C-alpha cells in the first residue's frame, strides 16, 4: 500500500472553494521521518485562484479571507499571493496526478491511501476535479483522516494533534501545505498512530 499525505489551502470552507495551493508527500509506514527531508520530498502546486473564480465559478468566503489576513506573511506569500508561475487548474491537477503516479480511473488506484486532516480537503479536491471534467485520483473510500486517527489512538481531548518529539514548533509554518503534510506524517509515525 502506498501512502500520500495531502493538504489543501482554500478561499472558502465549502466544497466549491477556490483552491490556492496543494501539497502532497508520499511516505511509508516504516520510515523514521525527518522534517527537512519530508519538506524536500513535497510536491507543491500553487494554483491561479482568479482563473478558478472567473472560469469555474469557484467560491470565496469573506470570513475565510479575513482568517487568511491574520496568518503570517510567510504563509500568505506561499499560498495566497498571486504569482506569474501559478498553475491553471488543469496544469496543476496533471502535475499532482503525475507525481502521485495515479491512474486516471480512481477505481484502479486501490493501492494508494490518501491522508488528510479532516474531510474538507477531500470534498474540495474532488469538487475541483469535477469542475474541470476530471475524476479524483483515488476512490473516495481510500481517504483517511489524520485527526481521527490521532484522537482514536491517543484518546482524550487532543483535538487531532499530538506532540512531535524533537521538533520545535517555531520551524513549522502551519498553513503552508508542505509543512502541514510533513508535520502530520511526523505525528502519525513518531507517535505510532499508524504502523
Per-domain boundaries in the chain? 2-190
Say which DSSP state 154 is in: H
pLDDT score, position 50 = 98
Q: What is the mean pLDDT of the chain?
A: 93
Digit-coded pLDDT (tens) for 93-145:
999 999 998 877 767 767 889 999 999 999 999 999 999 999 888 888 999 99
Digit-coded pLDDT (tens) for 40-69:
999 999 999 999 999 999 999 999 999 999
Helix (H) or strand (E) holding 45: strand 43-46
CATH of domain 2-190: 3.30.420.10
Amino acid at each position: 500500500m502506498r501512502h500520500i499525505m495531502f493538504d489543501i489551502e482554500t478561499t472558502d470552507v465549502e466544497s466549491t472553494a477556490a483552491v490556492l495551493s496543494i501539497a502532497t508527500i508520499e511516505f511509508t509506514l516504516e520510515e523514521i521521518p525527518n522534517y527537512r527531508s519530508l519538506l524536500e520530498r513535497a510536491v507543491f502546486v500553487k494554483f491561479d485562484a482568479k482563473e478558478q473564480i472567473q472560469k469555474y465559478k469557484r467560491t470565496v468566503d469573506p470570513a475565510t479571507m479575513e482568517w487568511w489576513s491574520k496568518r503570517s506573511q510567510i504563509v500568505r506569500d506561499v499560498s495566497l499571493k498571486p504569482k506569474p508561475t501559478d498553475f491553471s487548474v488543469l496544469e496543476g491537477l496533471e502535475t499532482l496526478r503525475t507525481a502521485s503516479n495515479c491512474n486516471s480511473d480512481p477505481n484502479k488506484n486501490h493501492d494508494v491511501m490518501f491522508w488528510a486532516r479532516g474531510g474538507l480537503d477531500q470534498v474540495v479536491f474532488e469538487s475541483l476535479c469535477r469542475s474541470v471534467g476530471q475524476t479524483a485520483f483515488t476512490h473516495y473510500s481510500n481517504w483517511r483522516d489524520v485527526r481521527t486517527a490521532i484522537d482514536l489512538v491517543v484518546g482524550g481531548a487532543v483535538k487531532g494533534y499530538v506532540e512531535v518529539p524533537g521538533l520545535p514548533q517555531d520551524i513549522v509554518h502551519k498553513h503552508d501545505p508542505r509543512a502541514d503534510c510533513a508535520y502530520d506524517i511526523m505525528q502519525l509515525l513518531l507517535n505510532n498512530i499508524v504502523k
